[in-house]
Amino acid sequence: MQLSLRRIEDQNIYYQESGEDSSIQLVFVPGAFNAKIWKHQINYFSKNYKTAVFEPLQRRKDYEGVKKALESVISQEVMDKVVLVSDITSNSIVQELESHENVKATFMTGRYSKPDIPSRTFYKIIWSSLIREPKLLRRTLFSECTRYNVLKEFSEDVVVPKHDIMKSFLERHELSRPEKPSATVYSTEDRFSSLKSIRNLQDDHSIRVIERAGTYSFYEKPEEYNKALNDFLTKVKKSIEKNEVEKARDKNRSLTEFEKKKVAIKR
């Protein structure tokens, strides 16, 4: 997956847009990590939807930098009915921008219960060990049953953020109840999330459970994750279509009433 440098709004952003024009657009938000971790979703959903993924410049990869980049992406003229898709580190950013006029729905992954912010030294030791020995990922970000080739592939795809960048995301982990249509994926072996904390924000019908998957279920079990997202998108499309029909009906009704008044005045 190759992102190219593009000028969007008032800033330069590494960006990839793919797929056909569609009634809604998907924007995958990388959070603290790099965009490549969304490759399974980009490959799948770009067949039927306009999809976008991005990364800020290196010096702007902290929480505020990603937030500003996302705001520029969704403010484009071609992005008029956006569904934001986030991982556990970018949920807060997505929710902050939920009120944007172009955003119609959000699809989040997990929710930090009580995120620990390790020391700089410990953070480096942890990640160097995980990348050097992918099997250790089973004890942290993935489930115990994850195949080694998936762990190995993830360790090659992921770009580990600097400690200060990760810290900026962990410090902004709080979420509130969504105002627009939303769903959250809960994975049963996600060590950083709890079903209880998600239920405080989402009704049960808005929670999608993936069994025997960890924090990065969209990478570990892309087929199950994609199905959950696809089902959600189907509901979002129907809701948008229904609203547009109602708006058109109201517009026609107003126009008819206006014409009747004109005729009455003339008489």
**Cβ 178 vs Cβ 95: under 8 Å:** yes
Q: Is residue 167 part of a domain?
A: no
Task: Quote the CA–CA distance of 257 and 263 in Å, as a whole number.
Answer: 10
pTM of full prediction above 0.95: no
Question: For residue 96, what are the domain limits?
Answer: 4-113+174-266
CA-atom Rg of the chain in angstroms:
21
pLDDT tens digits, 30-73? 999 999 999 999 999 999 999 999 999 988 999 999 999 999 99
Q: Is residue 178 part of a domain?
A: yes
Please give the average per-residue pLDDT across 168-192, as a whole number.
Answer: 95
Q: Total domain count for the chain?
A: 1
Q: Is residue 126 part of a domain?
A: no
Q: Is residue 144 part of a domain?
A: no
Query: Phi and psi of 6, rounded to 5°?
Result: -140, 145
Q: Is residue 196 part of a domain?
A: yes
Query: Phi and psi of 145, rounded to 5°?
Result: -100, 5
**pLDDT band at residue 109 under the 50/70/90 scheme:** very high
Q: Is residue 154 part of a domain?
A: no
Please give the average per-residue pLDDT across 151-178, as a whole number.
Answer: 95
Q: Is residue 230 part of a domain?
A: yes
> What's residue 76's pLDDT?
94
How many C-beta atoms surround the C-beta of residue 197 within 10 A? 17
> What's residue 124's pLDDT?
95
> What's residue 55's pLDDT?
96
Q: Is residue 157 part of a domain?
A: no
- CATH at 20: 3.40.50.1820
